[in-house]
Amino acid sequence: MLDNCGFDLWAESYDDSVKHAEENDQYPFAGYSRLMNAVYGTVRRHAPAKVLDVGFGTALLAKKLYDVGCEITGIDFSDEMIALAQPKMPKARLLQWDFTQGLPPAVAGETFDFIISTYALHHLAEGEQQDFVLALLQLLKPQGKLLIDDVCFPTEEALRQCRQACGDGWDDEENYFVYAKLWQQPEGFAASFHPFSFYSGVIEIART
């Protein structure tokens, strides 16, 4: 289960629009800090862990896990993000790769204790999300966990209500996860959904 720890990731500097949405409980970043803290706490309890971060961006979460001894492999399509993140985590392996093309060959055959993805996988088309998640699950060690923290919803009805409430502020170009229709759960895995706001949550999938 997710574990909320006392480390305050919200105190770190991040984009003003994220902070504004967080403080005002607004789409799409309501619950952001609590969500990030929960994922951080879950992985930290098992440090040093081998972690794959898909779409690590500014490396806010990856850096914190690196600092507590985790072995970090990161995937991001942006060379600039990698250039910013690498000095923060000199021993991390950061791969430039567009995950809409699937997984990079460099991670083929590897396994990880945790795979995390923060506000990234909604860039995949709906039909691609399930295939990509299933591919990620094959990289988990026994008892390993995939943690998808994002704008996501337990049901289609919850998504519909959110979209209606957001009106013109809704981003039609994003494909948000609906846990109830994500997949037919494959044998050997257990899944759960943890809401952190009306807009956000963590989908946790563990190899059993």
Q: What is the mean pLDDT of the chain?
A: 87
| Per-residue pLDDT tens digits for 133-143 | 999 999 999 99
User: pLDDT band for position 154 (50/70/90)?
Assistant: very high
Amino acid at 199: Y
User: pLDDT band for position 199 (50/70/90)?
Assistant: confident
The DSSP letter of residue 185 is: P
Asked if 52 contacts 107 with a C-beta cutoff of 8 angstroms, the reply is yes
User: pLDDT band for position 11 (50/70/90)?
Assistant: very low
Percent of the chain exceeding pLDDT 90 equals: 61
Ranking 37-41, 43-47, 162-166 by mean pLDDT, the lowest is: 162-166
Residue with the bigger pLDDT between 15 and 40: it is: 40
Q: Please report the domains of the chain, with CATH numbers, ordered by start residue.
A: 16-207 (3.40.50.150)
pLDDT of residue 30: 66
Q: Are strands 50-54 and 140-153 parallel, antiparallel or unpaired?
A: unpaired
Asked if 111 contacts 84 with a C-beta cutoff of 8 angstroms, the reply is no
Asked if 148 contacts 2 with a C-beta cutoff of 8 angstroms, the reply is no
pLDDT of residue 92: 98
Asked whether the predicted pLDDT for residue 9 surpasses 60, the reply is: no
How large is the C-alpha radius of gyration of the chain?
A: 16
20 three-class SS: helix
User: pLDDT band for position 19 (50/70/90)?
Assistant: low
Name the strand (E) or helix (H) holding 149. strand 140-153
Maximum alpha-carbon separation in the chain: 45
Asked whether the predicted pLDDT for residue 128 surpasses 50, the reply is: yes
Asked whether the predicted pLDDT for residue 113 surpasses 70, the reply is: yes
The DSSP letter of residue 183 is: -
Asked whether the predicted pLDDT for residue 117 surpasses 90, the reply is: yes
Buried/exposed code over 80-99 (b: 16+ C-beta within 10 A; e: otherwise)? ebbeebeeebeebebbebeb
| Per-residue pLDDT tens digits for 51-103 | 999 999 889 899 999 999 999 999 998 888 898 899 999 999 999 999 999 99
Asked if 74 contacts 95 with a C-beta cutoff of 8 angstroms, the reply is yes
What would the mean pLDDT of 169-173 be, rounded to a whole number?
88
